Structure 1
Amino acid sequence: MTYQVRIEGTEHAFEAEEGENVIAAATRAGLMLPYSCRSGTCGTCKGEVIQGAIQYPDGLPPAIDADEEGEGKALFCQARPVSDLVIRVAEVREAGDIQPQRLPARVERVDDCAPDVRRVFLKLPRDKRMPFLAGQYIDILLRGGHRRSFSLANAPHDDELLELHVRHMPGGIFSEYVFTNMQAGALLRFEGPLGNFALREDSDRPMILMGGGTGFAPIKGIVEHALHIGVARPMHIYWGARSRQDLYLESLPRHWEKLHPSVDFTPVLSEPAPEDEWQGAQGFVHEQVLADYPDLSGYDVYMSGPPPMINAAREGFVAAGLPADRLFYDSFEPGRD
């Protein structure tokens, strides 16, 4: 059985198979709706059901409460239609020729850059290419139907190798492999590009870009793309980490700051080690942003990192005047084994 899903206020409509979530059905039809974690924890995909009914496979997801559900709100990464639907979403755009693909790739090299972070560089077959937007991610496809999501840390113009930043998660079925057995030449399969965390090139607003931990990866791709295409509006980059060793590519944003007058860089450590002799900003990274920018009404904000950081920052930034439609984020939900 299939259900028709129509997007209110547009000419867009698509079909969802029984048991298929709205985001997956829209993507299959060549449309991009807002989403990030795909696990119901970040709220990026939240919209409204105007007509029709949906159900969730495992009960109400974490990023929506019963009151919101009663008002017709829904998380479309989890919502399965059980009738034809009319929905309202904040953003819809045609994906054009940037469609997710399933591709093989070989590991070109693996670089240590912190005790628990490695950069993995993947090379596609000679006859393959994957167009993507700076900031999007891919899913590594593993045995048993498991997937692990990693942001692309390189910009689209620099796509000879795909760059991933992998944090070691003890017991993780993929990160354990990366940190123990992965060698150059290993073959992987992945699906991508995915997500719509990407630079809004049509904006003229100054940008604040905030990464937490390996959430620096998509920020790196976005900044490198912006500099490549000549974006001149101010970009203030914040990177939150525990100690100095966790700023695993600290020299890179400092290099951007030195070369480009439009770029500022502020690293923020939550637990600096005594040997760090840290004289910079301390605490939670989003609180440093708010201290520096108490009025965010005129900015675009891009942020990526763990859900607690995303949730706290989202609340604080909106309270500081940031329009909700000028906040773009990617929530790094850890894989569950």
Structure 2
Amino acid sequence: MSFQVTVQPSGHQFTCDEGETILTAAIRAGVGLPYGCKNGACSSCKGKLVEGSVTHGPHQERALSAQDESLGFSLFCCARPNSDVIIEAREVAGIGDFPVKKMPVRVAKLDKVADDVIILSLQLPANDRLQYKAGQYVEFMLRDGKRRSYSMANAPHKDEHLTLHIRHMPGGLFTDQVFSTLKERDILRFEGPLGTFFLREDSDKPIVLLASGTGFAPIKAIVEQLEHAQSARPVTLYWGGRRPQDLYMDELCKTWAQSLPNFKYVPVISNAQPEDHWSGRTGFVHQAVIDDQPDLSGYQVYACGAPIVVESAQRDFVAKCGLPEDEFYADSFTSAADLATVQ
């Protein structure tokens, strides 16, 4: 049995098989519903259920509360239709431009750039090319059907290899492997490109880029894409970490600030210690944006990092700074620990 899903206001329709989530069916059909984690841990795919009924699988309360559901909202990554449905969602143009592929990749290099961060460089097959948009991610296919997601840290035109920034999560199925047994020439498999977090190039609005920790990876790709396009849009990058060493490519950001026109870099540290001798900005990284840019009504914001950072930024930028809700683009870096709290 299958059900028909109709998306408003576009009128796009696609078929959802029994037991399949609306998001999975939309991706298969090339319909650009917004999404992030695909696991019920963020709220990127939340939309309105206009007609019909669905059953929601496990998800975090913060992504879809009982009150949200009572008001007719749905989390499409874990919503399985019980009938034909009509949904309301802001579709993402261009999401179907490039095919989603499964492919083997060879480890070309592992560079440890901080105690808990490795830059993983991957060699793609010689006869295959991964087309993607700056900001998107891939999913590694691991044993027992498990998957782990990482954003591409270089723009599509940049570098010979595909690069990813991997932060060590002790006990993590994939990161323990990366930091202990993975070596050059090992073969991994992934699927991609995925995600609706990418640079919107059809606008001339000034941009605020907000990153925490390794959320810098897709932000780096976006900066490289802007540079490649010779964009004249004003860009300010705010990168936050607990300690200065968390800003593991600080020198690159300073180089951008010196070489790229209309580009500013603001590093922000939340937990500097006396031995760090930190004299720069302190506190929460999204608060630094509010202090500097009290009026965001004419901006686009791209935010990536820990869920608490992304959620706080979205809430406060819209409520306090007048940022249009549809000009906030985000990717929450949900870890396996985050997903463990999905209910």
Which TM-score band (shorter chain)? over 0.9
Q: Name the % identity.
A: 47
Q: Give the CA deviation at 1:61.
A: 4.5
Q: Give the CA deviation at 1:62.
A: 3.2
Partner of 2:328: 327
Partner of 1:213: 213
Provide the secondary structure at the position in 2 that maps to 1:31: coil
Provide the secondary structure at the position in 1 that maps to 2:336: coil
- In the alignment, is residue 139 of structure 1 matched against residue 139 of structure 2? yes
How many residue pairs get aligned? The number is: 337
Measure, in 2, the Cα distance between the counterparts of 1:257 and 1:270. 22
Q: Give the CA deviation at 1:189.
A: 0.2
Partner of 2:41: 41
Match of 1:226, as an amino acid?
L
Where do 4+ consecutive residues of structure 1 move more than 4 Å? Answer: none
How big is the alpha-carbon RMSD for the aligned residues of Structure 1 and Structure 2?
1.3
Change in CA separation of 1:121 and 1:111 when aligned onto 2, cut-off 3 Å: same
Partner of 1:121: 121
How do 1:203-242 residues align onto structure 2 when only pairs under 5 Å count?
203-242=203-242
Q: Give the CA deviation at 1:95.
A: 3.3
Match of 1:297, as an amino acid?
S
- In the alignment, is residue 65 of structure 1 matched against residue 38 of structure 2? no
Q: Give the CA deviation at 1:274.
A: 2.1
How do 1:214-293 residues align onto structure 2 when only pairs under 5 Å count?
214-293=214-293
Measure, in 2, the Cα distance between the counterparts of 1:60 and 1:188. 30
Q: Answer with 26-35 or 213-222: which moved more.
A: 26-35
The gaps in structure 2 that reach 5 residues or longer are: none
Query: What whole-Å deviation, never above 9, does each CA across 1:179-236 have from its counterpart, x for those lacking one?
Result: 0011000100001000010111011110000000000000000010011011111000
Match of 2:151, as an amino acid?
S
Q: Give the CA deviation at 1:39.
A: 2.1
Query: What whole-Å deviation, never above 9, does each CA across 1:276-296 have from its counterpart, x for those lacking one?
Result: 211100011001110111111
Q: Give the CA deviation at 1:92.
A: 4.0
Q: Give the CA deviation at 1:14.
A: 0.6
Partner of 1:315: 315
Measure, in 1, the Cα distance between the counterparts of 2:141 and 2:61. 24
Contact in 1 for aligned 2:40/2:58 (Cα 8 Å): no
Partner of 1:153: 153
Query: What whole-Å deviation, never above 9, does each CA across 1:113-136 have from its counterpart, x for those lacking one?
Result: 000000000111100111000000
Measure, in 2, the Cα distance between the counterparts of 1:220 and 1:29. 30
Q: Give the CA deviation at 1:330.
A: 0.2
Q: Give the CA deviation at 1:60.
A: 6.9
Q: Answer with 237-246 or 55-64: which moved more.
A: 55-64
Partner of 1:79: 79
Normalised by the length of structure 1, the TM-score is: 0.97
Measure, in 1, the Cα distance between the counterparts of 2:60 and 2:241. 32
Contact in 2 for aligned 1:30/1:94 (Cα 8 Å): no
Query: What whole-Å deviation, never above 9, does each CA across 1:99-120 have from its counterpart, x for those lacking one?
Result: 2111100000000100000000
Match of 2:335, as an amino acid?
P
Contact in 1 for aligned 2:41/2:60 (Cα 8 Å): no
